[in-house]
């Protein structure tokens, strides 16, 4: 099976360190661009939540047990119609299909396992590469 294309075409990859200030700066830059081209407050809320979850997953789960100095790669493109964000970690990857449903009654009291479901709930499309170490999220601007 061929690997689905989960890159953002034409985007320059940004190496992002596990550093809160660098993470916040990248997210704020992206959201500023989104606001300027017409994304509303609910879109900005959705995109912020999804990118925070994806970056947390990459560092906390993707790089679990690996060096804290490892960076992740972020690609993004903002246009009035669509925002695309791809995040790749250097870990072995995971199988998103294998995640338990966190909304089942028996899982409600478990403190983790909601990041991917929130990304899927708030973004228009969420695709993983076959290794499971890169995710691409797309948000189509409902106001465009």
The residues that touch another protein, with contacts defined as CB under 8 A, are 20, 23, 42, 45, 48-49, 52-53, 56, 60, 102-103, 108-112, 114-115, 117-118, 121
- Using the minimum distance from each CB to another protein, give the nearer residue, 10 or 68: 68
Give the shortest CB-103-to-another protein separation in angstroms.
4
- Using the minimum distance from each CB to another protein, give the nearer residue, 98 or 108: 108
Give the shortest CB-131-to-another protein separation in angstroms.
23
71 Cβ partners below 8 Å, 6+ apart? 15, 16, 17, 18, 90
Give the shortest CB-106-to-another protein separation in angstroms.
12
Which strands make up the sheet holding 82-88, listed edge to edge?
A: 14-16, 72-78, 82-88, 134-140, 125-128
Strands 14-16 and 72-78, sheet pairing? antiparallel
């Amino acid at each position: 099976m061929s690997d689905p294309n989960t890159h953002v075409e034409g985007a320059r990859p940004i190496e992002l360190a596990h550093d809160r200030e660098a993470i916040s700066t990248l997210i704020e830059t992206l959201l500023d661009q989104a606001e300027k081209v017409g994304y509303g407050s609910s879109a900005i809320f959705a995109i912020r939540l999804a990118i925070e979850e994806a970056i947390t997953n990459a560092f906390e789960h993707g790089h679990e047990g690996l060096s804290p100095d490892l960076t992740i790669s972020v690609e993004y493109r903002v246009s009035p119609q669509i925002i695309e964000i791809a995040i790749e970690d250097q870990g072995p990857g995971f199988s998103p299909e294998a995640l338990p449903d966190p909304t089942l009654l028996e899982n409600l009291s478990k403190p983790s396992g909601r990041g991917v479901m929130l990304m899927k709930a708030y973004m228009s499309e969420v695709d993983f590469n076959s290794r499971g170490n890169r995710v691409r999220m797309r948000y189509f601007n409902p106001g465009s």
